[in-house]
Amino acid sequence: MAESIQEILKQIIGQISSQVQIEHIIEDKPVPSLRRAAPAVQKTGADITTINRNSLTPKTRFPEPEIQPEADLKPESSPTVITPKISVRTQKAAALATAVPEVALPPEMEALRSKVSTCEKCSLCQTRHNVVFGVGNPRAELVFVGEAPGEDEDIQGVPFVGRAGQLLTQMVEEPRSLGIKRSDVYICNVLKCRPPENRNPESHEIECCEPYLKLQLELIKPKVICTLGKFASQTLLKSQTPISQLRGKWFEYEGIPLLPSFHPSYLLRNASAKKESWQDMLALRNKIDELRDRPD
């Protein structure tokens, strides 16, 4: 009898439990447990999840991270290729050097150039990029002699291709001045290598290079020489007289008429002196015409 009563009670309790679960599921309420409740657990900031009855998986309350659309995704950048910048000045110098035609040298002049190209008589050979021998007509009537190569000349291996060289070219080719093509004259320097930072030539450097200059002039046999600036004029004239007193006066070097004039780089810094240099160019033209008319 007791056992049958227990069975009836179990059936009644089961029916009541099922009914309660159904009502709470319909009303979307938590289903109460018929078992003894577990001890309360203190909630912390880490306890941020609830149970989804459908999937039984944690559902975070933090916002989902935004996913960038594929169209906005930037491709990985390719390695940057650094192209060295070339100054306008260097570009002009290179263009002028390219415009100067290569002239076949007589054997003696070619042998001299080959010798100078390997010269190591002074310390300038350690800092130079190129030996700057000379350029132009090896049989020219007129030879211009400067003091030393500058930065552009050292890079190109050709004398007077920088700003000063461009001014000299204008002075030589101007019809109202000399009216001669640059390629028809010969241009060189006392020093064949650039002094560091374009400093002034030193006496021992001039002593090492002067024999090369003398040989050049002997082989060319010009009718007239024009020295440009202090160092070229004082070297060939063996004088310490300032260029301001030498300029515009005729002298002789080994029986060749020689006219000192200002260096073109000085004219770039002192535009007022261009008038005097213009007069020197006219004097050179008159002297060349005079020597051409003179019978040998």
pLDDT tens for 119-150 read: 999 999 999 999 999 999 999 999 999 999 99
What is this structure's pTM? 0.68
> Is 263 in a helix, a strand, or coil?
coil
Return the structure tokens found at 180.
């001669």
Q: How far apart (Å, rounded) are the C-alpha atoms in residues 93 and 12?
A: 111
Q: How far apart (Å, rounded) are the C-alpha atoms in residues 16 and 20?
A: 6
> So what's the pLDDT on residue 166?
96
Residue spans of the chain under pLDDT 50? 20, 22-29, 31-62, 65, 67, 69-75, 78-79, 81-86, 88-89, 93-94, 97-99
135-136/186-189 β-pairing: antiparallel
Contact in structure between 204 and 235 (CB atoms under 8 Å) = no
Contact in structure between 267 and 169 (CB atoms under 8 Å) = no
Count CB-CB contacts under 10 A for residue 102.
6
Count CB-CB contacts under 10 A for residue 39.
5
Distance of CA 22 to the CA centre of its chain: 85
Return the structure tokens found at 268.
């770039």
Domain residue spans of the chain: 90-293
Return the structure tokens found at 147.
């003091």
CA separation, residue 66 to residues 60, 63, 168 (Å) = 15, 9, 69
Q: How far apart (Å, rounded) are the C-alpha atoms in residues 27 and 287?
A: 122
> So what's the pLDDT on residue 102?
64
What's the CATH fold of domain 90-293?
Answer: Uracil-DNA Glycosylase, subunit E (3.40.470)
* Angle, CA 57 vertex, CA 56 and CA 61 arms, to 5°: 125
> Is 199 in a helix, a strand, or coil?
coil
> So what's the pLDDT on residue 107?
94
> So what's the pLDDT on residue 201?
96
- Looking at the DSSP bridge assignments, the partners of residue 145 are 188, 227
CA separation, residue 12 to residues 2, 8, 16, 198 (Å) = 16, 6, 6, 114
Contact in structure between 122 and 212 (CB atoms under 8 Å) = no
